[in-house]
Amino acid sequence: MELRTIAKDFPPEEDLIKTIEPIPYPLTADDGANRFGPAVDQPSRKVQTVELVVFLLLVLPALSTSFLIDDQSGGGFILSAVYSILGDLGLLSLVFYFLWRNGEPLRRLGWTLGKLPKEIGWGLVLFLPVIYGANKLESALHSLGLSAPSKVPSFLAAKGFAGIAVAVVMVVVVAVVEEIIYRGYLILRLKSVARRSWAAVLLSSAIFCLGHGYEGLAGVISIYFLGVALALIYVWRGSLVAPMIIHFMIDFSSIVLAAMLGGRT
């Protein structure tokens, strides 16, 4: 009798099903490999704005010091390379923390490897026209009287086996990390804040070029348009692989290959 009474008081099965809350974040087969934390809704615009301001307050002062660097500042290539590697990895850790806190998948930053060979191919194909256009623009700006260094700064000139080995590590880290930060993360957050994709592309490229003040005004402007080109490729392809390949090949040719050829590119 007691069991029957309990059964009568228990709600019907269909009512229990109706009370189950739906999962707030759409799950896919790829989420197991790409998600850091538990599924949550996309962070609000206010949260993303605060997060972006905190990030920029950390990164902009450091980037702006590039305008104060000169070829006589010393320090050597290896020290500068290690500083660059650790700085980039520190910013990457901060970005990953933001993603983990929000429960956002890596694919939101363009970290997609589903069509890896095709995206690598696009990077290889687009490298030459992108670097050709950037070099032509810098030369034109320099001819108009805008400042540009006459040679590669000493802190970017690798020497010896150790210097070249560190340079290889640096160009790999910089290509991967800076594309995740300046194309993937900043475009994601700026698009949410500004509500315009084109504004996100232009603003992220402006922030990117601030770290190249040592290249003179002509170099900064050409780097800005290089950043725009990489951002447009990212938006077009929906993947960071092609921009990473282009970024790596640009740095490899100007730093590693130049060192292997004795300063001649």
Q: What is the dihedral of CA 192, 194, 200, 204, to 10 degrees?
A: -100
Separation between Cα atoms, residue 188 and residue 211, nearest integer Å: 20
Tokens of 141: 């700006």
> Is 146 a member of any domain?
yes
Query: How high is the pLDDT of residue 153?
Result: 74
10 Å Cβ neighbour count for 16?
10
pTM, 2 dp = 0.79
Strand partners, 35: 105
- Count the domains in the chain: 1
Q: What is the dihedral of CA 47, 50, 55, 60, to 10 degrees?
A: 150
> Is 265 a member of any domain?
no
Q: Rounded to the nearest 5 degrees, what angle is found at the Cα of 210, between the Cα atoms of 214 and 265?
A: 45
Query: How high is the pLDDT of residue 65?
Result: 67
Radius of gyration, CA atoms only, the chain:
24
Contact 100, 36 (CB under 8 A): yes
Query: How high is the pLDDT of residue 76?
Result: 82
The candidate with the shortest Cα–Cα distance to 68, out of 257, 216, 213, 250, is 213
103 in the Ramachandran plot: left (φ > 0), alpha (ψ -120 to 50) or beta? left
Contact 216, 201 (CB under 8 A): no
Instruction: Give the range of the structural domain holding residue 142, as residue numbers without chain letter.
Output: 2-260
Separation between Cα atoms, residue 89 and residue 94, nearest integer Å: 9
Residue whose entry in the numeric block shows the structure tokens 């960071």: 240
Q: State which H helix or E strand residue 156 sits in.
A: none
Q: What is the dihedral of CA 49, 52, 54, 55, to 10 degrees?
A: 180
> Is 101 a member of any domain?
yes
Separation between Cα atoms, residue 79 and residue 125, nearest integer Å: 33
Query: How high is the pLDDT of residue 23?
Result: 36
Contact 66, 153 (CB under 8 A): no
Contact 85, 175 (CB under 8 A): no
10 Å Cβ neighbour count for 210?
18
Give, for all 265 residues of the chain, the pLDDT tens digit: 444 544 455 455 455 444 444 434 333 434 434 433 444 567 888 889 989 988 888 888 777 766 766 554 445 888 889 888 988 998 999 999 999 999 999 889 898 877 899 999 999 999 999 999 999 999 999 899 898 776 767 777 888 999 999 999 999 999 999 999 999 999 999 999 999 999 999 999 999 999 888 888 999 999 999 999 999 999 999 999 999 999 999 999 999 998 898 755 5
> Is 72 a member of any domain?
yes
